[in-house]
A and B are shown apart, each in its own frame.
Chain A
Amino acid sequence: MIPSLASAAALPAHGGPGVLSLGLFLALALATVVSAGIVVFSRNLLYAGFSLAGTFFGVAGLFVFLRADFLAAGQVLVYVGGILVLILFAVMFSRDLFGVREEGQRTNRFFGALVATCAFFAILQAILTLPFPASAGEAPLLAEPSAGALGRILLSRYLLAFEAVSVLLLAVLVAALHIVRKDTRGKQP
């Protein structure tokens, strides 16, 4: 739905993006940034968690603009369906437990603002001054959805990393269960 819309609207009108494409892109970018701001600045951790969903969906939409359809699907499945549900579970399960309500106070606000602002302006200057070979108007579309090409490269050039990640996931599964298990050894007679 959105991919066809974006590519249909991206028909080149004298080199620039179409109005629909541009508007959709700016709206997505704005939604991403605003919801990320809510994540960071909200006093209520539950609002922050739900707003994180907006950020994840926004980034998925930007992936669609980047012709990374498999990444967009994976972003929605893994981040929204997995990580976000995990975080929201932790927040909602623990709201009374952890005293999330009075979590408004922060630590070293000044130092954090200084570090974040310095990092942002350093990156901004790099973005604005470095010459990027970025005229994408004539960039060719991939001839096929990116899933096929991703599968081929994962099972050829990145095969070792792929296997290592699968072993890592198994280790993470076991380790997470081991960390949260009830310690019954001391209670044995």
Chain B
Amino acid sequence: MNGWPAVLADLPAILRRGPDDVRAYLLVGAILFSLGLFAIVTRRNAVALLMGVELVLNAANLNFAAFARFVGAARPGESASIEGQAVSLFVIVLAAAEAAIALALVFAVYHQFRTIDLHRMDDLRN
């Protein structure tokens, strides 16, 4: 297993190759995922938490599309694979459904509790 300095030595090469390197896309996806995770854990506002979920889903989409382009293209005798893009399309549709239901729940919860602070809606009945 490489130590961290040796691992990080690859970073300039990745940035120099830019759009021709799958790892550049994965790097952007990793940053988006981590930021979304941070938002999900720390935000107290339900709508802000939903934004974090969207960031995570976007990161997943980016990874699907990147692997569809690069790994599919590396298979011999086959053009770039389309399946990753199909899965990514399903993720977009499910994200839309999730956003609609989540915002409906936020409104219903506000109607019930008069707040959307996730720390103050902690009783089963009022």
Q: Residues of A at under 8 Å CB distance from B? A: 6, 10, 16-17, 21-22, 25-26, 29, 32-33, 36-37, 39-40, 45, 48-49, 52, 55-56, 59, 62-63, 65-68, 70-71, 74-75, 78-79, 82-83, 86-87, 90-91, 94, 97-100, 103, 105-109, 111-113, 115-117, 119-120, 123-125, 127-129, 132-137, 139-143, 146, 149-150, 153-154, 157-158, 161, 165, 168-169, 172-173, 175-177, 179-180
Return the contact of A103 from the options B17, B45, B99 (Cβ within 8 A). B45
Task: Tell which of A55, A66, A168 touches B55, judged by Cβ atoms closer than 8 Å.
Answer: A55
Interface of A is mostly: helix
Cβ < 8 Å to A, chain B residues 54-107: 54-55, 58, 61-62, 65-66, 68-71, 73-74, 79-80, 82-83, 85-86, 88-90, 92-97, 99-101, 103-107
Q: Tell me the complex Cα distance, A113–B38, Å.
A: 6
Contact of A112 among B15, B38, B47, B70 (CB under 8 A): B38
Known contacts A33-B31, A176-B100; A16/B89 CB under 8 A: no
Q: Chain B: how many interface residues by the 8 Å CB criterion? A: 83
B45 touching A45, Cβ below 8 Å? yes
CB distance from B13 to the nearest CB of A (A): 10
Closest residue of chain B to A88, judged by CB?
Answer: B47
- A and B contact pairs by CB, cutoff 8 A, 29 listed: A17-B19, A33-B32, A36-B32, A36-B55, A55-B58, A62-B28, A66-B68, A71-B65, A74-B89, A75-B92, A78-B96, A79-B58, A83-B96, A86-B100, A87-B47, A90-B106, A94-B110, A103-B45, A113-B42, A120-B31, A123-B30, A133-B74, A134-B21, A136-B69, A136-B73, A141-B80, A142-B79, A153-B83, A176-B104
Whether B35 pairs with A109 at a CB distance below 8 angstroms is no
Residues of B within 8 A of A165 (CB): 90, 93-94
* Chain B interface mostly: helix
Whether the Cβ atoms of A139 and B103 lie closer than 8 Å is: no
For A59, A66, A115, A132, the residue with the greatest tally of chain B CB atoms inside 10 Å of its CB is A66
Complex Cα gap A153–B81 (Å):
11
Cβ–Cβ < 8 Å partners of B55 in chain A: 36, 39-40, 52, 55
Taking beta carbons and an 8 Å cutoff, which residues of B are in contact with A?
1-2, 7-8, 10-11, 15-28, 30-39, 41-45, 47-48, 50-52, 54-55, 58, 61-62, 65-66, 68-71, 73-74, 79-80, 82-83, 85-86, 88-90, 92-97, 99-101, 103-108, 110, 115-119
Q: B73's closest neighbor in chain A, by CB?
A: A139
